[in-house]
Amino acid sequence: MKIQTNPFENKKFFGRENELSEICKRLGLEDSLIEQCNSFQFTAPRRVGKTFLATEILKKAHEKGYLGIFINVEGCLNEAYFIEKFISKLLESNSLPKKTSTKLQNLRSISITILGTGGAVEWENKKSTIYKELENVFARYNGNAIIVIDELTILLENLKEKASPFLYWLKSLRNEYKNIRWIYCSSMSIDAFIEENNLHKSTIDIESFDLGEFSKEEAISFIEKLSAKKADFNDGCIDYLLKKIEWKLPHYIRILFNEICHLLTENQQVSITIIDQAYSNALNNKDILSYFKIMKADLKQYKEYEKSAYKILEALSHNAAGIGKNTIKTMIYETKNDENDIDRIFNRLKTGGYIMKNEDNKYTFRSPLFRDYWKEQIDKNKIK
Ligand SMILES: Nc1ncnc2c1ncn2[C@@H]1O[C@H](COP(=O)(O)OP(=O)(O)OP(=O)(O)O)[C@@H](O)[C@H]1O
Ligand SMILES: [Mg+2]
């Protein structure tokens, strides 16, 4: 049996012991009296670590003899693409009986032919048979399995009106075959999609798992781990770094750490000056730049709320201390003045990981890095 993980990186997974333990117990991978569930949805903003965590769970499942399947569906433009990919991943696992594999190979050939000819009509004619046959494969499989579907929201958006039957098909699989567990990963916009399309019932049985930042201790240990043999921090500098990035995500810690390493000369210790310089260099880091491309595409999905969202972000980018909700409402009054609409924008920006409420009950950017990048772009007139 082969495990399929996301081959995206050779970076090592760190920490998240509590999260891993809780999920593994709930999925039945670890002995526990806790009530079990067979599906999770990892909801968290971009770059929080959903895919990394799901991949780590697949590794643990593999150690327990489970079949582990990882499918990133972001490139699946329609159902036929999804089915083709799904079948390919099942086949790659090399863990199905020969008869089942042959059946799957046939189904895959049909999907490929349809994809090749772009035949929407042909797909509509064949799809119920293909779905049925796939269900038969599930029915015959009596081992344990975990299937991770990454970037589900993108697929749902591509499926448009077909998203609803697709989600109900997944639900029927979950209800019918309890030996198969599911993890769906998506940035928070899945909730907006479900709400907009009134699809709550199709996902009601899925447990949401809110993934957050590292705890302070975890973040310190992570920096210490990264630093081993590479960097030596002056007293108080790890704390300074954490205050600087505020949002203690491994992704941003790693980016800043790499920038620090680029600046360090031999035997030089990490100082506040180096951290400040690394932080300003990080604003031009390619990972940060690509994040902002994604962010802009995400804001486009806000449609009628896009303009107001930009206004809010622009105002917050110039105000590190934060701005009260009423002041922001006045600012966006021209573009949006309905209370419900305004709340919807705030919620979307919050769940998207762009903004948060601080201790003074004011709104600020979730990450100072985003805030400073945004400000820099506005000052250079690069944001409309
Ligand atoms: N537990 C972890 N240990 C070490 N590094 C991590 C961990 N979690 C995340 N990272 C780092 O953060 C990066 C982003 O993680 P990941 O791709 O899992 O985020 P994501 O939530 O799936 O983001 P997206 O919504 O953009 O797909 C990883 O490439 C990795 O460098
Ligand atoms: Mg991901």
Residue 113 has pLDDT above 90, yes or no: no
pLDDT digits (tens, 9 = 90+) for 183-239: 999 876 677 788 888 999 999 999 989 899 999 999 999 999 999 877 888 889 999
Minimum-distance ligand 1 atom for the alpha carbon of 8: 29
Residue 139 has pLDDT above 70, yes or no: yes
Q: Residues 312, 315, 320, 321: what is their CA dihedral angle, to the nearest 10 degrees? A: -80
Specify which of 77-91, 286-300, 328-342 reaches the highest per-range mean pLDDT.
77-91
Give the number of whichever ligand sits closest to the CA of residue 353.
1
Residue 293 has pLDDT above 60, yes or no: yes
pLDDT for the residue 383: 62
Decide if 26 contacts 60 (C-beta within 8 A).
no
pLDDT for the residue 298: 84
Residue 143 has pLDDT above 50, yes or no: yes
Minimum-distance ligand 1 atom for the alpha carbon of 14: 3
Strand partners for 363: 323, 357
Taking the centre of ligand 2 as the mean of its atom positions, its distance from the CA of residue 55, in whole angstroms, is: 10
Cβ-in-10-Å burial (0-12, 13-18, 19+) of 64 comes to middle
pLDDT for the residue 60: 92
Taking the centre of ligand 1 as the mean of its atom positions, its distance from the CA of residue 9, in whole angstroms, is: 10
pLDDT for the residue 230: 79
The protein residue with its alpha carbon nearest to ligand 1, atom 16, reads 49
Q: What is the pTM of this model?
A: 0.89
Q: Which residues line ligand 1 (CB under 6 A)?
A: 9, 11, 13-16, 44, 46-52, 185, 187, 250-251, 254
pLDDT for the residue 382: 64
Out of 13-17, 104-108, 265-269, 376-380, which region has the weakest mean confidence (pLDDT)?
376-380
Out of 3-12, 164-173, 291-300, which region has the weakest mean confidence (pLDDT)?
3-12
d(CA 111, CA 126): 9
Q: Pick left, alpha or beta for residue 361 (phi over 0 → left; psi -120 to 50 → alpha; otherwise beta).
A: left
Residue 34 has pLDDT above 60, yes or no: yes
Q: Pick left, alpha or beta for residue 214 (phi over 0 → left; psi -120 to 50 → alpha; otherwise beta).
A: beta
pLDDT for the residue 336: 67
Minimum-distance ligand 1 atom for the alpha carbon of 187: 25
Pocket test for ligand 1, best of 5, 10, 50, 52 (most atoms within 8 A of CB): 52
pLDDT for the residue 188: 61
pLDDT-based confidence at residue 10 (cuts at 50, 70, 90): low
Decide if 256 contacts 279 (C-beta within 8 A).
yes
Provide, rounded to the nearest whole percent, the portion of the chain with pLDDT above 70.
94
pLDDT for the residue 189: 65
Q: How far is CA 121 from CA 31, 124, 133, in A?
A: 49, 5, 19
Average of per-residue pLDDT values in the chain: 87
Q: Stretch 128-140: mean pLDDT, rounded? A: 87
Parallel, antiparallel or unpaired: strands 207-210 and 180-186: unpaired
pLDDT digits (tens, 9 = 90+) for 353-365: 899 999 899 999 9
**Secondary structure of residue 269 in the 3-state scheme:** coil
pLDDT for the residue 3: 40
pLDDT for the residue 29: 86
**Non-local CB neighbours of 174 within 8 Å, separated by 6+ positions:** 38, 39, 180, 182, 205, 206
pLDDT for the residue 232: 85
Residue 257 vs residue 32, higher pLDDT: 257
Q: Stretch 50-57: mean pLDDT, rounded? A: 95
Q: Please, which residues have CB less than 5 A from ligand 2, an ion?
A: 51
